[in-house]
Amino acid sequence: MISPARWTTERIPIAPLASGVELGLALHELRGRRGDGPTLGLCAGIHGDEAVGVEILFHLRQRLDDRDLRGRVLMLPCANPLSYAAITRNTPLDMINLNRVFPGDPHGGFTEQLADRITNRFLRGIDALVDLHAGGAYPTVDYVYIVNDEHLSRAFGTPWLYRPRDLYPGTAAGVTRARNVPSIVVELGGGDVDQSEYVARGIAGIINVMRTLEMLPAAPAPAPPQTVLTEIATIRPHAGGLLVPESTALGVELDPHALLGRIYHPQTFDELETIRSPYRRGVTILLHRTADVVEPGSFGYMIGNLDTAER
């Protein structure tokens, strides 16, 4: 059943393209009828090959009801529409990663202008942020960053959290963190597999965050057993070709230096590379659940170090 909630949608102009097409963003707003409260910002599609976040917000928009809501929701479901259309991580016009140039520059290149609009029309008007990401078109991932509010990150309900020494520079969450706005960066789903599990978990996670913020009336659900990782190794293949995975399940503890996958030449079928876990006790955080095409330097695997994890 679609909620009768009274959403409004604002168009944020970005720029006319060379074709004459006017590029803009859609910002959705829902004001609660249960009184004043925080403004929660929900964002997806910063990386266009991470489409599951857009789907999560599509279904969530139909679930939320302003009669149950305290405060306000601002939803930016597709932050990089050109990248989304091209199914690419970077913006096709200038091949820049949008999540490395925040807060942007109104006088810069296209992606910098896009970051500037998002910063000023969305990020600087919210009291909490949930930024949805995924593994991409081929890899699948499952963890949540601890940015600046561990309690809220835990409320999303994922079994695996990651406390980095610092964020990548130029991220959307870096803008909100600089303003001391509680921020969650979710890495969930992706890959050439059925996304229904990740969509359901994403919706449930956001609703639980909203209950934790007392925006929805029910008490938040308790978190499952959770592990906080402080080290995650990103493994990128040196050779391109056909990646045939050996490990295909996320959140699984690995044997010492376990075999993760092999890369084969797509024409001769010669084995080009063997990929192994770098840790004595590792856990799969990002992987390929299917045999996929990879280039040198593609995202191959992310393996957490259980020897330095916090229980």
| pLDDT one-digit tens code per residue, 198-243 | 999 999 999 999 999 999 999 999 999 999 999 999 999 999 999 9
Residue-level pLDDT at 247? 87
Q: What is the mean pLDDT of residues 118-129?
A: 98
How much of the chain exceeds pLDDT 90, in percent? 97
Q: What is the mean pLDDT of residues 110-125?
A: 98
Q: What is the mean pLDDT of residues 109-133?
A: 98
User: How many C-beta neighbours within 10 Å does residue 110 have?
Assistant: 18
The two tokens of residue 57 are 């917000």
219 CB burial (10 A radius; 0-12, 13-18, 19+): exposed
Give the chain's mean pLDDT. 96
Q: What is the mean pLDDT of residues 162-181?
A: 96
CATH architecture, range 8-227: 3-Layer(aba) Sandwich (3.40)
pLDDT digits (tens, 9 = 90+) for 23-40: 999 999 999 999 999 999
The two tokens of residue 177 are 């963190």
CA Rg, the chain, in Å? 20
DSSP 221-240: PPPPS-EEES-EEEE--SS-
Q: Answer yes or no: is pLDDT of 148 > 60.
A: yes
pTM above 0.75, yes or no: yes
Contact 171, 148 (CB under 8 A): no
Residue ranges per domain, the chain? 8-227, 232-308
DSSP 117-158: HHHHHTGGG-SEEEEEE---SS-EEEEEEESS-HHHHHHT--
Q: Which of these, 102, 54, 113, 49, lies nearest to 78 by C-alpha position? A: 54
Contact 146, 96 (CB under 8 A): no
Q: Answer yes or no: is pLDDT of 1 > 50.
A: no
Report d(CA 4, CA 56) in Å as an integer: 18
Which residue type, as a one-letter code, is found at position 200?
A: A
CATH architecture, range 232-308: Beta Barrel (2.40)
Q: Answer yes or no: is pLDDT of 4 > 80.
A: no
Q: Answer yes or no: is pLDDT of 84 > 60.
A: yes
pLDDT digits (tens, 9 = 90+) for 278-308: 999 999 999 999 999 999 999 999 999 999 9
Q: Answer yes or no: is pLDDT of 169 > 50.
A: yes
pLDDT tier for residue 2 given thresholds of 50, 70 and 90: low
**Run of H or E including 260:** strand 259-264
